[in-house]
Chains A and B, each alone.
Chain A
Amino acid sequence: MTRRQRWWIQVLLLAAVLTLAGILINNLTVNLIRTGLGLSFRWLSRPAGFAISEHLLPFQPSDSMAWALLMGWLNSLRVIACSIALATVLGVVAGAASRSNNPLFSALAGLYVGLIRQIPLLLQLLFWYFVAFLGLPSEPLAPLGALIRISNQSINVMGLNLSVEFAAVLVGLSVFTGASIAEVVRGGLDAVPRGQWEAFRSLGIGEGLGLKSVVLPQALPAILPALSSQYLNLAKNSTLSIAVGYADLYAVSDTAITQTGRAIEGFLLLLLSFLLLNLLINGSMQILNHAVLNKGQRT
């Protein structure tokens, strides 16, 4: 292509995209005028008028819509942070087990990954909520004395009270993402040359210690980038909470939109809050990545 041709193609492309955007925005304006809605964010300061089943900060239906959305955002953040921690533990254990020289461990890990990844997450969440947690007896079970008390009303771990909805989302998301993380970890372990394993085994170092001090430090640079994309997936998937009635960001936005009819504004706010969540996860992963890579270089 000559320079001139290239220039023309780019101009045409840009013109086409701008025209499309123009038509869409024009349609939107026409529709908004026709329905008499217009664009406005004043509804944010009006009282929410609906209750939120769980909230980290004090909230009442008479509080403002914006405050309600913040509660939803905090709920999302809470369940995402907890699930990330639990999924990582599950994934690392299962990933390490799949490369263990104990056939029982590797078979179990293979079963876990093969089963969980072929079943839709939404179905799994419904299972955890309706079958596993709502199926518990209403009288609290206390298998470890006062440490853990479980019933179909609430889960109490060491004095910390969790709702059944939160527990279902937490377990469902962690088990689902854990299977993907296991695959990531397995890939990272496979990237470490076989000789490294043989070397620490021949030195008489135990399986666990060798994994921790020889293999993992070398596998981490391959694992971390894929891990952060799994975390982002987990954050996106947490919006399925709405199916089990956990008041996350998406569920609260959905209620707010139905109450006010402000679909476009509500949607924009939802996108913005999600962007913020993504940036948070990405930022912390980058810091972690940096720390790990630097440490690896020093030793």
Chain B
Amino acid sequence: MQSCFSVVLLALIAWALWSTGFWLVQRADWSVVSGNLPLFAIGSYPEASRWRPILWLGSLLLLTLFTLAQPLLLRRGIGLNSTILSWSWLLMMPLGLWLLAGGGVLDPVPSRLWGGLVLTLLLTVFSGVIALPLGVLLALGRCSELTTARQLSKIYIDGMRAVPLIAVLFFGQLLLPLFLPVQIEINRLLRAVVAFGLFAAAYVAEDVRGGLQAVPPTQSEAAAALGLGPWQIQRLVILPQALRIAVPALTNQAVGLLQNTSLMAILGLVELLGISQSLLANPAYIGRHLEVYVWLAALYWLLCTAMALMARQFERQDPSNLIATRRS
């Protein structure tokens, strides 16, 4: 009976493959994608300065390829030192911000003109930059022997994890300005990044806590017996081990972060999904939903897979390097 079922299933798969292939090649009208590639990549960034976000995307792509090909290159003796690679990744953040926002020799470009893939990546990276240190702090608080620190962290973590992300983003857009002094105005993008980072910190905290709990208590006892102080024990002995254990979970979290940036489309930011929605509202592209969604799905899938692959590579590298990247 099972083999009968398998044959039927195989026939179904063959049919699905054939019709998908037929659609992809014959029936789909890809002009909506191919005609708007710059829009997907960088949004409606000013024409004259387009080279800036494109340069950033290009260097990110190059670095990704380098990182993924590193084991292969190292075997031939031409690979980059992994410390240099880690530092170049770190350098990408200020570089991206500078290239996009301008300043110094570059003309300033207001953040409402940023969009597309560049904005998606920027949102991911900078909310991650907020979430990681805050999450580690919260995890330390959650595992601390001080009752106040433990309770406060617990309230924050459990509270954040109980509410949906969109509610937090909504809070950031509409309510955050109410909690700030009248003179201070922060722009929409920054509000979104802060809200997103604060949300993700709670999830990072739980992953790091898992790592902290996996470090045997004898480690801190041994460190104390060597005469290290409480901060030194955490910084030199416990955290490096805990973070290394938490890397797979944190990778999942980072992939989730990238996917969840799509929620900003609901709030009207024109990141990858937002720009596609506004493109589909254009009468010229009526009924081209499937083409755009398939293209976006492929793009997100590729990004997430690349992230997961790179994280696995960092995991395999020597521990000291790993901590250098993780802690930043």
Pick from A55-63, A120-128, A138-146 the stretch touching chain B: A120-128
A121 touches B259 (CB 8 A): yes
Distance between Cα atoms of A127 and B163 in the complex (Å): 25
Interface: A53 (CB within 8 A): no
Report the minimal beta-carbon distance from A40 to chain B, rounded to whole angstroms. Answer: 15
Tell me if A123 and B296 are in contact (CB < 8 A): yes
Tell me whether A161 is interfacial, beta carbon within 8 Å.
no
Is the pair B305, A118 in contact by a Cβ cutoff of 8 Å?
Answer: yes
Please give me the residue from chain B that is nearest to A239 by CB atom: B164
Question: Are the CB atoms of B273 and A122 closer together than 8 Å?
Answer: yes
Q: State whether the Cβ of B236 lies closer than 8 Å to any Cβ in chain A.
A: no
Chain A count of residues within 8 A CB distance of the other chain: 46
Instruction: Given A263-B174, A275-B162, verify A250-B167 contact (CB < 8 Å).
Output: yes
Complex contact A274–B289 (CB within 8 A)? no
Q: How far is the CA of A282 from the CA of B163 in the complex (A)?
A: 14
Stretch of B2-10, B43-51, B79-87, B240-248 that contacts chain A: B2-10
Q: Which of A17-69 contact B (CB under 8 A)?
A: 17, 24, 27-28, 30-32, 34
- From 291 to 321 in chain B, residues with beta carbon under 8 angstroms from any chain A beta carbon are 293, 296-297, 300-301, 304-305
Chain A CB within 10 A, most for which of B164, B296, B297, B305: B164
Q: Which 4 A-B pairs have the closest CB atoms?
A: A120-B259, A236-B164, A10-B148, A120-B262
Closest to B261 in A: A120
For the complex, give the distance between the alpha carbons of A17 and B277 in Å: 41
Which chain A positions have C-beta within 8 A of B259? 118-121
| B166 part of interface (Cβ distance < 8 Å) | yes
Known contacts A10-B147, A13-B152, A131-B293; decide if A118 and B9 are in contact (CB<8 Å).
Answer: no
Most buried by B among A30, A257, A271: A271
Tell me if B300 and A122 are in contact (CB < 8 A).
no
Known: A27-B178, A240-B166. 19 other contacts (CB 8 A): A27-B179, A27-B181, A102-B2, A104-B9, A108-B9, A118-B301, A119-B297, A119-B304, A120-B259, A120-B262, A120-B300, A122-B263, A122-B273, A123-B293, A126-B289, A243-B266, A264-B178, A267-B171, A278-B162
In the bound complex, do residue B167 and residue A271 qualify as a contact, i.e. CB atoms below 8 Å apart?
yes
Q: Which residues of B contact A236 (CB under 8 A)?
A: 163-165
Q: Is B146 an interface residue (CB 8 A)?
A: yes
Q: Tell me, in angstroms, the Cα distance from A168 to B297 when the chains sit together.
A: 17
Q: Is the CB of B149 within 8 A of A10?
A: yes
Residue among A28, A104, A127, A237 making CB contact with B293, cutoff 8 Å: A127
Q: Which residues of A contact B (CB under 8 A)?
A: 1, 6, 9-10, 13-14, 17, 24, 27-28, 30-32, 34, 102, 104, 108, 115, 118-123, 126-127, 130-131, 135, 236-237, 239-240, 242-243, 250, 254, 257, 263-264, 267, 270-271, 274-275, 278
Is A102 within 8 A of B6, CB to CB?
A: yes
> Is residue B230 contacting chain A, with contact meaning CB distance below 8 A?
yes
Q: Are A123 and B178 in contact (CB under 8 A)?
A: no
A237 touches B152 (CB 8 A): no
Instruction: Classify the interface of chain A: helix, strand, loop or mixed.
Output: helix
Residues of chain A with a CB closer than 8 A to B290's CB? 127, 131, 135
Asked if B260 CB lies within 8 Å of chain A CBs, one says yes
Contact A13 B148 (CB under 8 A): yes
Question: Given the complex of chains A and B, what is the CA–CA distance between A100 and B289 in angstroms?
Answer: 36
Task: List the B side residues contacting A120 at CB < 8 Å.
Answer: 259-260, 262, 273, 300
Residues on A with C-beta less than 8 A from B277 are: 126
Query: For residue A28, which residues in chain B have a CB less than 8 angstroms away from its CB?
Result: 178-179
Given contacts A123-B273, A131-B293, contact A267 B170 (CB under 8 A): yes
Given A10-B147, A119-B297, A263-B175, the answer on whether A131 and B266 have CB atoms closer than 8 Å is: no
Is B182 located at the chain interface by the 8 A CB criterion?
yes
Q: Which of under 10, 10 to 19, 20 to 34, or 35 or more describes the interface residues of B?
A: 35 or more
B225 CB within 8 Å of chain A: no
B255 in contact with A118 (CB, 8 Å): yes
- Nearest to B145 among chain A residues (CB) is A6
Q: Given A120-B262, A126-B293, A264 and B146 touching (CB < 8 A)?
A: no
Nearest CB in chain A: distance from B259 CB, A: 4
Closest to B167 in A: A270
Shortest Cβ distance from B291 into A: residue: A131
Contacts A104-B10, A242-B266 given; does A119 touch B273 at CB 8 Å: no
Could you show 21 A-B contacts with beta carbons less than 8 Å apart? A24-B179, A30-B182, A104-B10, A118-B301, A118-B304, A119-B297, A122-B266, A123-B297, A127-B290, A127-B293, A130-B293, A239-B164, A240-B263, A250-B164, A250-B166, A250-B167, A257-B174, A263-B178, A264-B178, A274-B167, A278-B162
A10 & B146 in contact (Cβ 8 Å cutoff)? yes
CB-nearest residue of chain A relative to B307?
A118
Q: How far is the CA of A237 from the CA of B6 in the complex (A)?
A: 35
Does residue B265 face the partner (Cβ distance < 8 Å to A)?
yes
Cα distance A275–B160 in the bound complex, in angstroms: 11
Residues of chain A lying within 8 A (CB to CB) of residue B178: 27-28, 31-32, 263-264
Q: Which residues of B contact A254 (CB under 8 A)?
A: 170
Contacts of A115 in B (CB 8 A): 301
Chain B residues with CB under 8 A of A275: 162
In the complex, A278 Cα to B162 Cα: how many Å? 7
Closest B-chain residue to A208, C-beta based? B2
Minimum distance in angstroms from A249 CB to a CB of chain B: 10
- Provide the residues of chain A in CB contact with B167, threshold 8 Å: 239, 250, 267, 270-271, 274
- Given A9-B146, A10-B148, A120-B259, A271:B163 Cβ within 8 A: yes
